[in-house]
Structure formats: structure tokens, C-alpha cells
Amino acid sequence: MQKHFIEIDGARMSYVDQGQGFPVLLGHSYLWSAAMWQPQIDALSQHFRVIVPELWGHGDSDAPPPTTTDMSALTRQHLALLDALNIPQCHLVGLSVGGMWGAQLAIEHPERVDRLVLMDTYLGAEPEATRQKYFALLDAASAAGHFSDELLDIIVPIFFHAGGQTVPEIRDQFRADLKASTAETIRHSLDPMGRVIFGRPDLLPQLCAIAGERAIVLCGDQDIPRPPEESNEMARIIGCLAAQIPFAGHISSLENPKVVSDFLLNWLPGKA
């Protein structure tokens, strides 16, 4: 996977830029990287120009610049990427935090987003109980300077099908990657980014600004942190379709990649 780099707010953001045609911007999940979209990059880049920015402190992107104080900053920084690449309009597919900044971008700059796919995400504020749980996990990891096995036993299953039978190699690699995180990465990237994500404001009242016929909400049928009820709630507000991805948890792009890729190829217009 070839990475490109661009400076935004004084920090270096890495991104994948593969294929030709109408641009499709893919936003990945917290604690993952552009590699989370590898099956979709392979499929979509046969027909589209696929761009996958990596979240600050994830993949090959620098730690978040000091300007990254909230979700609005993250939205503005991704708009800056589109501007720098001279992309006036794109399809936007955002999973988890990718859907959070992606939806806000579509609301604030509707002319820039033709089709919006929100996957395994939620635009409401994080419920108080889970926000406190996630902040406590961040506190523990930052204090220790590493992800202990005890923490990993809590964190890793959150991202996958509750049954535990899907993609064992990907689960093991994800755990190993987190375990290898340095104290600097945890304290200066993963912790502050986690607080931006889990401390986000409630954007549900603004979702009605999204054009329902140009949007869809997808969710793994076994998504633990972002269950289908949340997707259905957002779809009702937007006035768009909602669909579940079978046999998939939060990282549905890797747990059921063919279903996700085939859906995107069928639903996104403008194939070359």
C-alpha cells in the first residue's frame, strides 16, 4: 500500500491515493489505519479514485497538531485535504470516527459530498457510561505507557463480532499492533484523539440537513459499540435507508469485506 503525505496545520498526514475516476474518500476507525479498507481499496480502485486519509497518530500520520481540539477541527482538516488535492466533490464512506467527521463535512459542505455512506458510527454524543469507560481505558494506557494484556482483553473484542469466530488472524494482528504502541504514541496521539472522539458533541439534530436520497447507514449486525439501534435512529432522522452487514461487528469492512465492497460498487454512482 503506497502512502502519500501532505502537511495540514503543520503536521504530516498520510493517505492512500489509488485508482482513477470519480473520487471516493474512505474514513477509517479509531485505533486502525488505511489498511482497514484494503479489500475495498482493491475493489473500488478498479472503477474510482480511492483516497484514504489516516487519522492523526494512526498509520503513518503524525501526532495530532495542537489545533485538533474537537471534531470540528478534524472535519476542517479533512476538507483541507480535499482542497489540497483539488477534489471539488467526492463520495464519502466513513466508518466509526470516519463517519463522525464525514457526516459533519457533508452537513457543513453539502456541495462537496455526492453520496454519503455512514458505517458502524453514531453522530449522537457518546452515552455517559461508555464515555467514562473509554476515558478510564485511556487513563490506564497513558499511565502505564503501554496496552497491558488486561486492557487488550477489554479493548480488542469491542471491535469484532461478539461470537469471536470471525477473522482470527486480523484480531491477533490488531492485538499485536496495539501491544506494540509506544508510550509516546499512546500519550500524544491515541489518548488525545480518543478524547476528541468520545467527547464529541451531539450532532443528531443536524442530521436532517443530509439529503436522504444520497445517504445510507450501514452497520454490522453484531456491532458492539455502535449497535444497529443507533444506525436505525440516524436513518430515521436523515430519512434514508439503513442496512445491516451480516456476520460482522464494528470493523465490518474486514469481517465481511465482500458484502461491503459489492454494496459500495453497486450503490455508488459514477463508476469508470
- The C-alpha angle 216, 261, 29, rounded to 5 degrees, equals 70
Residue found under cell 470516527: 97
Write down the domain spans for the chain: 4-267
Cβ atoms of residues 200 and 144 within 8 Å: no
Please tell me the number of Cα atoms within 13 Å of 182 on its side-chain side: 7
pLDDT of residue 211: 97
Give SS3 for 216.
Answer: strand
Cell numbers for 42: 482493491
pLDDT on residue 166: 81
244 exposed, middle or buried (CB, 10 Å; 0-12, 13-18, 19+)?
A: middle
Question: DSSP 3-state assignment of 243?
Answer: strand
Reported for 129-137, long-range contacts at CB under 8 A and 24+ positions apart, including other chains, are 130/198, 130/225, 131/198, 131/199, 134/194, 134/198, 135/194, 135/195, 135/198
Report pTM: 0.97
CATH-assigned architecture of domain 4-267 = 3-Layer(aba) Sandwich (3.40)
List the alpha helices (DSSP H) in the chain: 38-44, 71-84, 97-108, 128-144, 149-158, 168-179, 183-185, 191-198, 228-238, 252-255, 257-267
List the pLDDT tens digit at each of the 272 positions of the chain: 899 999 999 999 999 999 999 999 999 999 999 999 999 999 999 999 999 999 999 999 999 999 999 999 999 999 999 999 999 999 999 999 999 999 999 999 999 999 999 999 999 999 999 999 999 999 999 999 999 999 999 999 999 998 777 899 999 999 999 999 999 999 999 999 999 999 999 999 999 999 999 999 999 999 999 999 999 999 999 999 999 999 999 999 999 999 999 999 999 999 86
> How high is the pLDDT of residue 163?
79
Sheet holding 49-53, edge to edge: 4-8, 11-18, 49-53, 23-27, 90-95, 113-119, 215-220, 241-245
What's the pLDDT at 271?
81
In this predicted structure, what is the pLDDT of residue 30? 98
Q: Which amino acid is at 164?
A: G
Handedness of CA 157, 162, 163, 169 (dihedral sign): negative
- Please choose, from the candidates 14, 59, 67, the residue with its C-alpha nearest in 3D space to the C-alpha of residue 185: 59
β-pairing, 241-245 vs 215-220, is parallel
Q: Residue 126: which residues within 8 A CB-CB, separation 6 or more?
A: 134, 197, 198, 199, 200
109 within 8 A of 79, measured Cβ to Cβ: yes
